[in-house]
Structure 1
Amino acid sequence: MSRGLGSRLRSRALPLLAAATALLLVALFYYPVATVLVDAVVVDGELTAAPLAAVLTSEFYLGWVGRLLADPVGFAGYLAGTMLADPLAALWTLQTLGLFGFTAWQALLSTVASVALGLPGAWVLARFEFRGRRTLRSLTILPFILPSVMVAVGFYATFGASGTLNAALAAVGLPRLNLLPSLTAIVVAHAFYNAPLVTRVVAASWEQVDASAVETARALGASPRRAFRDVVAPQLLPAVLMGATLTFVFTFASFPIVLALGGARYATVEVFVYAAVQQLDYHEAAALATLESGVSLTLTALYLRYEQATTSQHRNARKQPRRPLLPASWTPKRTAVRVAVAGYAVVVAAVFLAPLASMVYGSLTVDGQVTLDAYRFLLQRQVSGGQFQVKPLPAVKNSLLFGAGTLVVALPTGVAMAVVTTRRFRGRWAVDALSMAPLAVSGIVVGLGLLRGLVFGVTLFGYRISVAGPVAIVAAHGVAAYPFVVRNVAPQLGRLDRSLVESARALGASRLRAVVDVELPLVWPGVVAGAAFAFAISIGEFDATVVLAEGGGAYTMPVAVERFIGRRLGPATAMGTVLLVVTAASFLVIERVGGGLGGDGDGGGGGGGGAL
């Protein structure tokens, strides 16, 4: 009897694993987010559309669309009269899109900047061979996992009134620039994060372009430019669109970058959600969060559907050979290409290296003089800080503990979901989309949901259930990190030779045994890469943490950096440098323990599936 029960359990292991993972996601993500969305339609226990209607009919939030929804007849009459009397005024009215319009506009600009900065990098990595190419390709993902609040400090240290840029301008007798706060700074900072993502996605697809198709086009008389336009570009377009979609989703819900570099003048929907939470106006926050999440979830679902339709199109293609970046002989054409690459390297250094270098430099200098005053301040705060002041060592300790807890939550959940979503069954696309929802829902919304639903407590079957702030923070970090585990493991599982699994099953292995003994060892580099991502993302998570750590001692390094920004820049740059060292060291330790982050990248990605 027990043997029969065990056999039945093993045969149903994967469905049971999927059910357990789904229940965990419901408890840590869907239920908390649902509590936020319920606040948008329930006030004082009564069902109402008032909070959503207040946002949808607000000219401040939706511009002319809000006026139209509030009074369709009146607005139509106003617009018709204005169009006859003053067409320019009417056009200006139609250009007023409100807070949501500005949020979408800055996300669009950020997407264009990220694609423009990322595509040349993909071209260099995919088409040229040079020493350090594999290492450089691995490093393209590092900006994406760096803590956003630390990057904001780096941009302040570079482009602020007392930053390194103005110091360099003053040294050569040029006037200083006032670049912060500004929309340009927000866009460039977003490109810092997302251009490497575009590079990685497109380079993976470019490496899979069918060389025989290009050779056929050239043999038929097409010029190199025509062959690229007609053969290569159509094969790259899906990867470009997927990278652009992800970038738009991430920048539409961006929070720390906009908060730090934009201020009140350039605030986005996410900043207003946080402000409403701070003012305890949960219904307005929920209404804004509902509309914002609807946009992000729709785009994420479209991305996943498109990815599934295009991810295997180059699997059996013959790769194009790479050209040496430094050839033995030089021609005018080759010289122009190398000059273009050198110019691109200068731009990359200015965008990616300057903020980090400026942050470290700012932590070690005052008015150009080398000093350790900023680090002494952190030590003094640690020794003599008050009970409610942020201290450096507890922040470091909390970040590391929360990172370890995140691995416990995100790694098994992500691996289990990767196994489930790479099986063929009806509705797989819907399951994949639902499992990736945490990628699209902002950390502020998740943090608010955990605060309202779990920290404040919920009554079930007559019992009051609540969790402590640190537990909720680990839950929020696990939710934020687990999609990256899935996106690292699932593509490698999808590319496995299924005959190996079928052979194991033919020899008597159960479905679960085949997964554990055959599939997971073959995709172990992807599992390690997912673990490194999960830990690093936990170390740098700010959005949900700043909501859940309010009023408690569960602050982390990113929260400490944000608190120090309110003082002079030195302590913030010092704490940011500590955060940079801990993040990089943690990432490298996990990578070394696991034996490498998934190979050299020559064939990875599958045109977007391994983008993260």
Structure 2
Amino acid sequence: MPEAALRPAGPAPTGTRTPSEHPDPPREAPPKTPPRGTRSLPRALWALPPVAVLGLVFLYPLALVVRQSLTPDNGGGAFDAYSAVFASHAFREALGTTVWLALAATVGCLLLGFTLALIIAFVPFPGAKAVARFIDVFLSFPSFLITLALLFIYGTVGMANGLWTDAFGGSGGPFHFLTTPWGVLLAEITYFTPFVMRPLLAAFSQLDTAQLEVAAGLGARPARIIRQVILPEALPALAAGGSLVLVMCLNEFGIVLFTGAKGVTTLPMLVYGKAILESDYPAACVAAVVNIAISIGLFGLYRVVGKRAGA
């Protein structure tokens, strides 16, 4: 007979476990926490390479620009270059042109971007999603490409002047505004409007359509719905997009250069002219420092507005 059949039935002997009882797994000792200095040292070491690259690529050249503006190589006092540049008519004119172009372009982008975003988001038409996706692609285009396209259309030998001369004769058409401040303004509004539309479309996608249906059911007209329902929800996105466009217009160089507007001198164009054409590096550095200071201030404003808008 098998040996197991000979064993008597009953409780297992003391000190033994039945097969149904499993021993408790051994508890592992908690890991030892390394000292604070040892734990923070690797993080500091990992931060050194990006800080070194940032300092070498960006901070060091910026420090050279600031140093050249304060202590020029051709001699003079610490702020002689600033006094000379601030007293010049060219700098004051460039500063005024930069400010009014940036402000006018920002206002134009806000008005046009809000209108186009309203149509894309709330007016159903075939291809609305394709247009919204094209806006994302448009953001990657270089600014000179838009200016070049406008030159093909409104340039001296562009399509508009060609159609005019074919229809009415003459040696040339009437479209010569691209070489004026208005041409620069048109190019900047054309290029920077999608930067306003993108955050607006994102804000409109989160808008509760039930509010629009209730307002329409109560007899509100579209203008009133836009003013009282849509616009309050779009204000943070408008502020964020407008702040970004203002910063970018302030530093725009390619559009002014490619339009060939010789009478339009902005701060970036002044820096280019002083450094490359006149070899007046102290004056160029002073104009660059002023441009950087204004840009940093506006970028800080953009960050504050962007945080409040949730961007």
User: Which band: TM-score by shorter chain?
Assistant: 0.7 to 0.9
Does structure 1 retain, via aligned residues, the 8 Å contact 2:94–2:270?
no
Residue 126 and residue 19 in structure 1: after superposition, are their counterparts in 2 closer, same or farther (change >3 A)? farther
Matches within 5 A, 1:491-530: none
Q: CA deviation at 1:240?
A: 1.2
In the other structure, the counterpart of 1:268 is: 266
Query: What is the CA deviation profile of residues 545-579 of structure 1, one whole-angstrom value per residue up to 9, with x for unaligned ones?
Result: xxxxxxxxxxxxxxxxxxxxxxxxxxxxxxxxxxx
What amino acid is the match of 2:280?
Answer: D
Residue 9 and residue 188 in structure 1: after superposition, are their counterparts in 2 closer, same or farther (change >3 A)? farther
Kindly tell me the number of residue pairs found equivalent between the two proteins.
274
Measured on the aligned residues, the alpha-carbon RMSD in Å equals 3.0
In the other structure, the counterpart of 1:247 is: 245
Distance 1:14 1:235 in 2: 42
Q: CA deviation at 1:121?
A: 2.0
SS, match of residue 104 in structure 2: helix
Distance 1:222 1:156 in 2: 44
Does structure 2 retain, via aligned residues, the 8 Å contact 1:113–1:191?
yes
In the other structure, the counterpart of 2:160 is: 165
SS, match of residue 257 in structure 1: helix
TM-score, normalising length: structure 2: 0.77
Residue 286 and residue 181 in structure 1: after superposition, are their counterparts in 2 closer, same or farther (change >3 A)? same
SS, match of residue 145 in structure 1: coil
Distance 1:270 1:292 in 2: 8
Distance 1:9 1:171 in 2: 80
Distance 1:174 1:243 in 2: 44
Query: What is the CA deviation profile of residues 143-198 of structure 1, one whole-angstrom value per residue up to 9, with x for unaligned ones?
Result: 33323333333322221221111111122226612234112211111122101111
Distance 1:35 1:247 in 2: 28
Structure 2: gaps of 5 or more residues: 1-31
Distance 1:49 1:286 in 2: 12
In the other structure, the counterpart of 1:153 is: 148
In the other structure, the counterpart of 2:52 is: 23
Matches within 5 A, 1:454-473: none
1:49 to 79, 84, 90: 79
Residue 283 and residue 254 in structure 1: after superposition, are their counterparts in 2 closer, same or farther (change >3 A)? same
In the other structure, the counterpart of 2:63 is: 34
In the other structure, the counterpart of 1:188 is: 186
Higher alpha-carbon Rg: 2
Distance 2:131 2:201 in 1: 12
Residue 43 and residue 222 in structure 1: after superposition, are their counterparts in 2 closer, same or farther (change >3 A)? same
Matched, 1:137 2:132: yes
Residue 172 and residue 207 in structure 1: after superposition, are their counterparts in 2 closer, same or farther (change >3 A)? same
Query: What is the CA deviation profile of residues 50-106 of structure 1, one whole-angstrom value per residue up to 9, with x for unaligned ones?
Result: 1112222334322xxxxxxxxxxxxxxxxxxxxxxxxxxxxxxxxxxx221111111
Does structure 2 retain, via aligned residues, the 8 Å contact 1:269–1:288?
yes
Matches within 5 A, 1:305-384: 305-311=304-310
What amino acid is the match of 2:275?
Answer: V
Does structure 1 retain, via aligned residues, the 8 Å contact 2:109–2:189?
yes
In the other structure, the counterpart of 2:120 is: 125
Residue 217 and residue 150 in structure 1: after superposition, are their counterparts in 2 closer, same or farther (change >3 A)? closer
Residue 171 and residue 220 in structure 1: after superposition, are their counterparts in 2 closer, same or farther (change >3 A)? closer
Off by >4 Å, runs of 4+ in structure 1:
7-19, 212-224
Does structure 2 retain, via aligned residues, the 8 Å contact 1:121–1:199?
yes
What amino acid is the match of 1:22?
Answer: V
Distance 2:101 2:45 in 1: 43
State the percentage of identical aligned residues. 27
Does structure 2 retain, via aligned residues, the 8 Å contact 1:126–1:204?
no
Does structure 2 retain, via aligned residues, the 8 Å contact 1:183–1:262?
no
In the other structure, the counterpart of 1:280 is: 279
In the other structure, the counterpart of 1:373 is: none
TM-score, normalising length: structure 1: 0.41
In the other structure, the counterpart of 2:302 is: 303
Distance 2:42 2:132 in 1: 38
SS, match of residue 179 in structure 2: coil
Does structure 2 retain, via aligned residues, the 8 Å contact 1:186–1:262?
no
Does structure 2 retain, via aligned residues, the 8 Å contact 1:111–1:244?
yes
Residue 231 and residue 11 in structure 1: after superposition, are their counterparts in 2 closer, same or farther (change >3 A)? farther
Distance 1:58 1:227 in 2: 51
In the other structure, the counterpart of 1:289 is: 288
What amino acid is the match of 1:294?
Answer: A
What amino acid is the match of 2:249?
Answer: T
Distance 2:139 2:256 in 1: 16
Residue 14 and residue 233 in structure 1: after superposition, are their counterparts in 2 closer, same or farther (change >3 A)? farther
In the other structure, the counterpart of 1:235 is: 233
Distance 1:183 1:262 in 2: 10
Does structure 1 retain, via aligned residues, the 8 Å contact 2:179–2:260?
yes
Does structure 2 retain, via aligned residues, the 8 Å contact 1:114–1:198?
yes
In the other structure, the counterpart of 1:60 is: 90
Q: CA deviation at 1:4?
A: 8.5
Distance 1:191 1:38 in 2: 36
SS, match of residue 168 in structure 2: coil
In the other structure, the counterpart of 2:96 is: 101
Q: CA deviation at 1:217?
A: 5.5
Does structure 2 retain, via aligned residues, the 8 Å contact 1:238–1:310?
yes
Q: CA deviation at 1:208?
A: 1.6
Distance 1:131 1:258 in 2: 36
Query: What is the CA deviation profile of residues 178-225 of structure 1, one whole-angstrom value per residue up to 9, with x for unaligned ones?
Result: 234112211111122101111112111121223455556567775554
Residue 250 and residue 12 in structure 1: after superposition, are their counterparts in 2 closer, same or farther (change >3 A)? same
